[in-house]
Amino acid sequence: MHLLLSTIALRPYVFIFLASYLFIAIVNFGLRTTLLFTVLTYAVSLACEWSSVHNGFPFGLYHYIDATRTREIWVFGVPFMDSLSFTFLAFASYTVALLLSSPLYRRGGDVRILDTWEIRRAPRVWLMAALFMVMVDMVVDPLSVLGDRWFLGKVFWYDPPGPHFGVPISNYLGWYFVAAITIAIFQWLDATLNRGSTRPAGLLPAMRSRALLGPALYAGIVTFGITMLFRIGAPNIGWAGVFIYLPFAVLAIHILTRRESWGDDAAIERHLADFSYERDLTVWKPSSARKHELHRATA
C-alpha cells in the first residue's frame, strides 16, 4: 500500500489520465469491457516491455534505471506506470478512429456518433487507431528520454540511442505492433460482451456528447506532451510534435465539419438497430419544428 501511494504521488499525471480513461470507457462501453481490456492490455504491454528489456523485441533494446525502485511499484523489472500507460493510450486512439469513421449527429449541444457494429469492427478503424497511438508516442517517447529535465526523472535509456531525438525507429514499429494487438483485443471484447439489446452495466447512453470524451482525452495527452517539451527547453522536439499533429488536426476538422459527415435518418436507424437500448432517448425524438415539417411533408 505504501508503494502504491508513493507511485501515485510520483506519477500523478499518469493516474489522472488513467482515472479519466476508466470513467470515459465505462460510460461508453460498459464496466466489464473496460476492466477486462485494462487487465489484458497491461499484461500484453508488460510482456512486450519485459521482452524488449531482455532481447530488444519489439521496441528495441533499452534498459530501465532502478533509481525509483523503492519509491514506486515495479513488476518483473518494469515500472508499473509504464505498462499501465498503454491502456489509456490505446483506448483514446481507438475513440479518435471511431469518431472519424462514423456519421455524426447533433441536437443542440449533444453531439453523438452514429456508429454500428460494422464500423466498430472495421479494419480501417483498427489500423487507424494503431497509427494514432504511434503518433502519440512520437511526442511522448522523445519527452521520456529527457526525463531528467522534468518530474518524470531519468528512468531508462536506449541501447543504442536512435535517430529520432534519441528514439530508435524500432520503438515505433514495436508500438504499432502492440497497438494493433491491444486495439484488436478491445474490438473483440466490445463485440463479445456488449452485442445485444441489453445495456451493458455502467454504460450511460443518455450522457450528452459522451463519444467526444475519448478524443478529448487523446487531445489532452498530446497537448500535455508537447507543452512539456517546450517547458523543459526542447523546442526542436516540441515543434516536431506540432508539425506531426497540425496536418492531422486540419484533416480531422475537415472530416468532422463537412456536410457528408452528418448522418441522415437512415444512419440514425442503422445505429439504433444495433444499439436498441438507446431507442427511447429523447435525443432521437423530433423537435416540435421537426414534427411540424414531417406533418406537412406527409399531409
Digit-coded pLDDT (tens) for 213-267: 999 999 999 999 999 999 999 999 999 999 999 999 999 999 999 999 999 999 9
Q: What is the pLDDT of residue 287?
A: 57
Q: What is the pLDDT of residue 297?
A: 47
Q: What is the pLDDT of residue 291?
A: 45
* More confident call, 93 vs 151: 93
Handedness of CA 120, 125, 127, 130 (dihedral sign): negative
Q: What is the pLDDT of residue 293?
A: 46
Mean pLDDT (whole number) for 279-294: 68
List, for residues 162-171, the tens digit of each pLDDT value: 999 999 999 9
Where do the structural domains in the chain lie, given as residue ranges? 2-298
Residues contacting residue 100 through CB under 8 Å, at least 6 positions apart: 128, 252, 255, 256
List, for residues 182-193, the tens digit of each pLDDT value: 999 999 999 999
Q: What is the pLDDT of residue 294?
A: 40
- pTM for the full predicted model: 0.93
Question: How many CB atoms within 10 Å of residue 126?
Answer: 19
On the question of pLDDT at 285 being above 90, the answer is: no
Handedness of CA 162, 166, 167, 169 (dihedral sign): negative
What is the percent of the chain with per-residue pLDDT over 90, rounded to a whole number? 85
List, for residues 43-70, the tens digit of each pLDDT value: 999 999 999 999 999 999 999 998 788 8
Q: Which three cell numbers stand for residue 35?
A: 476492466
Radius of gyration of the chain (CA): 21
Q: What is the pLDDT of residue 289?
A: 42
Secondary structure of 12-24 as H, E, C letters? HHHHHHHHHHHHH
User: Helix, strand, coil shares of the chain as percentages rounded to 5?
Assistant: 70, 10, 25
On the question of pLDDT at 290 being above 50, the answer is: no
Phi, psi of 217 (to 5 degrees): -65, -45
Q: What is the pLDDT of residue 69?
A: 82
Q: What is the pLDDT of residue 288?
A: 44
List, for residues 5-15, the tens digit of each pLDDT value: 888 878 889 99
- Please, what is the Cα angle at 17 between 14 and 20, to 5 degrees? 145
On the question of pLDDT at 159 being above 60, the answer is: yes
On the question of pLDDT at 72 being above 90, the answer is: no
Beta bridge partners of 112: 105
User: What is the Cα–Cα distance from 263 to 166, expressed in whole angstroms?
Assistant: 45
Q: Which amino acid is at 154?
A: K
Residues contacting residue 238 through CB under 8 Å, at least 6 positions apart: 226, 229, 230
